Amino acid sequence: MVESSLQYSTTAEIKQAIETNRQTFKSGVTKSFSFRQRQLERLWCLLDDNTDELCQAVAKDLHKHKTETMMEILAAKEEINEALNDFRKWAKDEKVTPALVNRFGTTCYKRKEPKGSVLIISPWNYPVNLAVSPLIGAIAAGCTAIVKPSEVSPHTAKLLTDLYARYLDNSAYTVVNGGVPETTLLLEHKWNHIFYTGNGVVAKIIMRAAAEHFTPVTLELGGKSPAYIDEDANMMVVSRRVAFGKTINAGQTCIAPDYLLMTAKAEEKFIPELKKALGDMFGADIQASKDYGRIINNRQFQRLSKLLNERQSGDIVIGGKLDEKDLFIAPTVLTNVNRDDKIMEDEIFGPILPIIRVTDVDDAIEYINSKDDPLALYIFTDKKKVANKIMDSTRSGGILVNDTLMHVAENSLPFGGIGPSGMGNYHGKNTFDTFTHVRATMVKNLNPLSEHAQAARYAPFSDRNLRI
Ligand code: NAD
């Protein structure tokens, strides 16, 4: 892999960036609608003018096909378009009707105020979208922001640093680069919001640091997202949609189906169809396919190969090929996996797909509920009763019936986890709301006549004035 020349920010640079960011917010410039509009337009141009460069950088980091990175970019551009169309509407005061006690001479409304100077920390797996998408809402809300891209995808981090510097107002929006020491330094500062995407172990560090300053956090995490497949579902369609969700970015997707739940009868129908679907998508030699990605680095490769090699159960029925030099792991499907196998403990985050055999839908529900609440839950069935039963008896960040991943592209739906899979949500207006403080506002007049209506609350008190 070509070495990037990503420069980590120095302590002095980080302190300066934080100070500038805070002062800019204080100046009030980012609250102006014309400023927000201009910065959103510039962010759109940044993505549009540099699509090829961004695709090349991501390819160096992750061996992703251009189409996959285009999906990241297009999704972000779509979000910017929506924000440009609607942020003025989102930012409008919302009037509410005062209660009886305040009915006369009172106006009540919710003021939408930017939270302030915010920190966005992003991971390596979708290194463009996850560094841009939260920023869209921060700009739309009128905040200033520092973005800390993942050092694990250095080519993309370097390019984003250069592009943010060229396209955006750097007193308000800038990039800080680095690993743990640099991020730790950032976390010592008193932010008005921290938006973190990544793993749960680091999320606890973020939360602890935020607690020092009572800083609100959004945590976009991961987990083991299950997919239940009903035995009467159309397996040709199901297998293609599962293959898509598990092979895009070589399975390194927070909402990739982590494991499948199905009966023995369903498995018999599903496996040949999945083999066919993978063949149709990547040909007979998947390693030679230009459309299949690689594992991000040797550390992740070793973790995944250990998971495969040290499993106590599970027969490989599809795939199984690993090539360390090429960081290649074929989509690998395991059957006869024990429910308490090591592979069923943590998020797999790679192209390995265990199948847990269940006796029926109740058995599947019980298994799902024995684990942490996942980020996504997939249900494949035409039977409304089955889908409703699973939805009613489980919990997850989101639910998608009869597909994988596609709910993430729906900006009108909040995207986020629950419990260990995350806290808070974003996308579209939800991101604007994340970075907005809704300030309860009540305005009364000083008309002496309105004092008659207020008599009951002033001493001397009288029981006669209270009507309960
Ligand atoms: P990563 O290693 O790139 O880490 C994420 C960020 O945390 C980086 O910017 C990194 O510098 C920072 N970081 C790492 N260690 C730190 C520390 N000790 N203190 C402070 N900051 C630190 O990415 P990752 O965590 O390996 O990402 C993969 C995880 O992210 C998976 O669990 C995946 O499910 C989850 N994820 C979630 C979403 C979502 O939207 N919910 C999206 C993508 C990834």
The residues, ordered by sequence, that sit 6+ positions from 83 with a Cβ below 8 Å of its Cβ are 40, 136, 137, 139, 140, 428, 432
45 is a catalytic site residue: no
Give whole-number Cα distances, 458 to 171, 431, 442, 468, in Å: 51, 44, 20, 17
Q: For ligand 1, is residue 301 a contact (CB within 6 Å)?
A: no
pTM to 2 decimal places: 0.96
Closest-CA residue, ligand 1 atom 39, reads 220
Residue 343 CA to ligand 1 centre (angstroms): 20
Question: Any catalytic annotation for residue 220?
Answer: yes
Amino acid at the residue 365 = I
* pLDDT value at residue 463: 72
Query: Out of 79, 82, 182, 220, which one is annotated catalytic?
Result: 220
Q: What is the pLDDT of residue 102?
A: 87
- Measured CA to CA, the distance from residue 235 to residue 402 in angstroms comes to 11
Nearest CA to ligand 1 atom 30: 198
Cβ–ligand 1 distance for 416 under 6 Å, the answer no
Q: Determine if ligand 1 sits within 6 Å of the CB of residue 332.
A: no
**Ligand 1 contact, 72 CB (< 6 A):** no
Q: What does each of the 468 residues of the chain score in pLDDT, given as a tens digit?
A: 444 689 999 999 999 999 999 999 999 999 999 999 999 999 999 999 999 999 999 999 998 899 999 999 999 999 999 999 999 999 999 999 999 888 888 999 999 999 999 999 999 999 999 999 999 999 999 999 999 999 999 999 999 999 999 999 999 999 999 999 999 999 999 999 999 999 999 999 999 999 999 999 999 999 999 999 999 999 999 999 999 999 999 999 999 999 999 999 999 999 999 999 999 999 999 999 999 999 999 999 999 999 999 999 999 999 999 999 999 999 999 999 999 999 999 999 999 999 999 999 999 999 999 999 999 999 999 999 999 999 999 999 999 999 999 999 999 999 999 999 999 999 999 999 999 999 999 999 998 888 887 888 888 887 766 555
pLDDT of residue 1: 40
Contact of 331 with 319, CB cutoff 8 Å:
yes
Picking from 234, 227, 144, 155, the residue whose alpha carbon sits closest to that of residue 192 is 144
Ligand 1 proximity of 205 Cβ (cutoff 6 Å): yes
Question: What is residue 381's predicted lDDT score, i.e. its pLDDT?
Answer: 98
Q: Is 153 in the pocket of ligand 1 (CB under 6 A)?
A: no
- Non-local CB neighbours of 171 within 8 Å, separated by 6+ positions: 20, 21, 23, 24, 144
Atom of ligand 1 minimally distant from the CA of 198:
30
Nearest CA to ligand 1 atom 6: 123
Distance 283 CA to ligand 1 centre (A): 32
Q: Is 347 in the pocket of ligand 1 (CB under 6 A)?
A: yes
Which is the catalytic residue, given 55, 68, 182, 254? 254
Q: Which atom of ligand 1 is nearest to the CA of 200?
A: 32
Amino acid present at 409: A
**Which pLDDT does position 134 carry in this prediction?**
98
Q: Cβ(434)–Cβ(414) under 8 Å?
A: no
Q: What is the pLDDT of residue 466?
A: 59
183 CA to centre of ligand 1 in angstroms: 12
- 220 Cα nearest atom in ligand 1: 41
Residue of 8, 124, 188, 202 with the most ligand 1 atoms within 8 Å of its CB, for mutation: 202
Residue 445 contacts by C-beta under 8 Å, 6 or more apart in sequence? 105, 106
Q: Is the CB of 406 under 6 A from ligand 1?
A: no
Measured from the CB, is residue 188 less than 6 Å from ligand 1?
A: no
Output the pLDDT for position 449: 84
Please enumerate in sequence order all residues whose Cβ is within 8 A of that of 97, keeping only pairs 6 or more positions apart, or say none: 108
Complex ipTM more than 0.95, yes or no: yes
The residues pairing with 354 across neighbouring beta strands, listed in sequence order, are 334
Sign of the CA dihedral running 211, 130, 330, 316: positive
Judge if the beta carbon of residue 197 lies within 6 A of ligand 1.
yes
Q: What residue owns the CA closest to ligand 1's atom 5?
A: 123
Cα–Cα separations (whole angstroms), residue 401 to 30, 331, 333, 414: 40, 23, 22, 16
